[in-house]
Every structure is written in structure tokens, then in C-alpha cells.
Structure 1
Amino acid sequence: MATESLSPSINQGMKICAIPFDIAYADVENNLISAAHQLNQVEPDTDIVVLPELFTTSFVPDAKTIAEIAETNDGHTVDTLKRWAQYFGFAIAGSFLAKGDNGKYYNRAFFVEPMGDVTFTDKRHLFPISSESRTYTPGNALPPTIRYRGWNIKLVVCYDLRFPVWTRNQPENLYDLLIVPSNWPVARVKQFKLLLSARAVENQIYTVGCNRTGSDKFGDYTTGMSVIFDNLGDDIKETRRNGHIYALLDLQNLKEGRERFPAYLSTDRFTIDL
């Protein structure tokens, strides 16, 4: 059993927590209650908390149900996230079922900061085996770089993880941490962890994969799937008795590692057509 506390480093240390939990199908209010219960257990010196993909609904394939429960960026879910972030004093990341101004629906990732700033990015790669690619709309912009407490952070969603170009680090716009809220079934858990580790090594960053638990008609999501990797591809998570996973990320160590082995300087230049 891991120890019950971590102390932030003086060198821009970042304490991060990922919370895997079961998600009730299409039940926004009950899932918000579940998330609030989990957030109340987060250690007070935490900087970022990561929730699973579609944390208020799980994956909903039915068009009628989507139309009933999808929310705008200024809806109840985002308003609640803002209040939580301010109250607890940490940023909260994850994704929710969003309705755009154009009437289309998105699997929308969020990064909500304690001061009220919110960054959104839409899942680009929609899972073709399910109906996600038919009922949701893909994002049409690269994930932005979020500047938070001295760190550069990017946020992608689940299946986006399989496409390395989408998260490729560039020398002129280096980022340090990749956050991946997910609904990844246990049948492909080996690939989930392998891809998170690979993204960490190739980009010389930390990666955090926060996966849901429980089950739905698309698969099972067991405990122990959520992970945190360092820039060498090592899993550095510590698991608490309540199932939360933590790690202390050290920006100074990360920068020193890049200086010792500056592979990022050899990155190929390319453009992406959207």
C-alpha cells in the first residue's frame, strides 16, 4: 500500500490526482453527486484533479437522449465545476457531453481553474467501432496549450491517444503534461498503458490517464487501469485506499532530463490538415 501523503517540490512541483469511478448512464445529477463525494476526499495540497471521460453521462449513443442531456459551455455541469474548483483550490479536468452553438454534439474536454478560467477542447478522433463517430462531431482544432502554475499542459480524450501526431511536442511550443480522461475497456488495457507510456517517452512529458470504472454495454472498466507515467515511461502513481491515484510531478527534473537527452530538438516539422 502506498503512503498517504506527498509533499510538493519547491521546484515547481505539481501534485496530481486521478479519480476513477463508476458512471451512471445518462444521469447527470447522480454523477455530479458521485463526483462531489470523490472530490471531498482529495488531499488538500493537490494542484490538479482528473475525472474520467464523459463523467456526468458515460457514453450515450442514442440521439434522442443526447439531445435531452447535452449541455452548453455555460450550463449546469460547467457552472458546478467552476464552483468546485474555486472551493477546493485545485484545477479539475475531464470531459462532458456538450452541445455546440451550431446544434451539434461533442465529447468536450475541460480544464477548469480555481480562479474561474476554463479551457475547452473537443475530442478529435471519434471511436469508429461504437456509434460515436455518427452521433458526435469531431473537434476541428489542435488541443491548446494550457498554462497553469508554471506548467504547460495539453488535454486530449481517450481514442485521441492512439494518434501520436495529435500530441506531438514541438521545440517552439513545448508542453510538460498530457491529461487523458478515458472510457477505455479492460479488453484493451495493455494498449492503453502502452500508448500512455509511449506518448510520455516520445514527447519527454508526464502523462495521466484517468479511466472510469464499472461496466456498460460496451465493456468492463476495472480498477487499476488509471495510470501516471513520467518522461521515461515509468508508472509513478501511488494508489490510496479510496482508489484515488496520485503522483508528484517535478518540472525541474523534467527540464534537466530534456537537457541531458534533447531528443525534442530532432522533431520532424509537419502541418496537420483539419
Structure 2
Amino acid sequence: MPGLKITLLQQPLVWMDGPANLRHFDRQLEGITGRDVIVLPEMFTSGFAMEAAASSLAQDDVVNWMTAKAQQCNALIAGSVALQTESGSVNRFLLVEPGGTVHFYDKRHLFRMADEHLHYKAGNARVIVEWRGWRILPLVCYDLRFPVWSRISTIMTSPCTSPTGLLRALCTGRHC
């Protein structure tokens, strides 16, 4: 399986100004080619603001912008945005393919020290996205502090873990 070429984009975000932030990322994305995945920062349209969801860009507007950039770069574009949904405000990680397929993951572990849990609803679904032969498990910032959430619970098998492989290794180790 070929490796993934990943680009991480960072910039000082314009506080609570989605259109200005998208213009900055437009300029950064202009010359990017030959990448498989492009990752934008957490809450890339607003900055990490607790009140961002109330005045955020609509999800459709963000997805349309991300789709255009995914097509332009022929890459999966990913990043989180503060959104107002029917069930409340969420910190939603969007993954958009060049063909327009949209995947999303709502941040599970909200950052209590910044009172994120008082302003946003925690997600409860683990999402795995298949992209160019890779399985990607999106996590947002503080989620990384909780490895149990990202642990794969299925047993992976290979010839070296089969009983035959273990017996051969045991025999080799004991010189028999």
C-alpha cells in the first residue's frame, strides 16, 4: 500500500471571521499539488471560540468551499468547524473528498478547562473513513488525550500470530 502524503496547514486565525479565514486558506492552498490529505486547524473558520457556533458560517457554505478545494487539490480536505445543528452546537470535524462525499465526526472529548462542554454538545460516534486504501479515524485535539476512544477493538491477525508461526518462533528460540 503506498503511503499518504499529508499537508498540515496552520495560520493565525481571524477571530470569528469565517470569510476572512477562508480567504487566507485559499491563498495557502493555491500551489498545493500531489497530496492525499490536507488538514486544516480546529475551528478553522472562527478560532477556538466558545460562542462561534451561534454566528458561524452555515455547514453547506463550509462544505461547498471544502469541496471546491478538495477538487482543486485532488485531495481529502479535513478540519473542524463550530456549527449550530438541530441537536445543538457541535465542534464538527469535516472530511470532504474531491468527488463531493462528506464525512463528519463530532468532537467527543470537550475541553472542560475552556468550558467547551458548556457551549458544545459532545459527539458519541466513532467514524472511520476509507481513503486511498487507508482507514482514517478522525480525532479533534483533546480527543487525543483519551487513547481508549481511539483504540481498535477488533483483533488483527497475520501469519506471525497464528499458532504455526508461534510454534516456529518458539522452536527457533529454543534451538529445536
TM-score bracket for this pair, using the shorter chain length: 0.7 to 0.9
Match of residue 67 from structure 1: 54
Does the 8 Å contact 2:35/2:73 carry over to 1?
Answer: no
Structure 2 distance, partners of 1:52, 1:111, is: 12
2:132 is the alignment partner of 1:149: yes
Does the 8 Å contact 2:15/2:46 carry over to 1?
Answer: yes
Q: TM-score, normalised by structure 1?
A: 0.55
Match of residue 98 from structure 1: 83
Match of residue 227 from structure 1: none
Structure 2 distance, partners of 1:50, 1:100, is: 23
Pair member with larger Rg: 2
Aligned CA distance change for structure 1 residues 107 and 36 (closer, same or farther; 3 Å): same
Alpha-carbon deviation of 1:170?
2.7
2:122 is the alignment partner of 1:138: yes
* Unaligned stretches of 5+ residues in structure 1: 1-10, 175-257, 263-274
Q: Percent identity?
A: 36
Structure 1 distance, partners of 2:62, 2:160, is: 43
What is the aligned-residue RMSD (CA, Å)? 2.1
2:93 is the alignment partner of 1:109: yes
Does the 8 Å contact 1:85/1:92 carry over to 2?
Answer: yes
Aligned CA distance change for structure 1 residues 145 and 16 (closer, same or farther; 3 Å): same
Q: Secondary structure at the match of 2:31?
A: coil
Structure 2 distance, partners of 1:57, 1:165, is: 29
Q: Secondary structure at the match of 1:14?
A: coil
Greater strand fraction, Structure 1 or Structure 2: 1
Alpha-carbon deviation of 1:68?
2.2
* Unaligned stretches of 5+ residues in structure 2: 163-176
Aligned length in residues = 162
Match of residue 143 from structure 2: 160
1:53 pairs, out of 42, 47, 70, with 42
Does the 8 Å contact 2:93/2:104 carry over to 1?
Answer: yes
Match of residue 172 from structure 2: none
Q: TM-score, normalised by structure 2?
A: 0.84
- Give, as a single letter, the amino acid of the residue that structure 1 aligns with 2:9: I
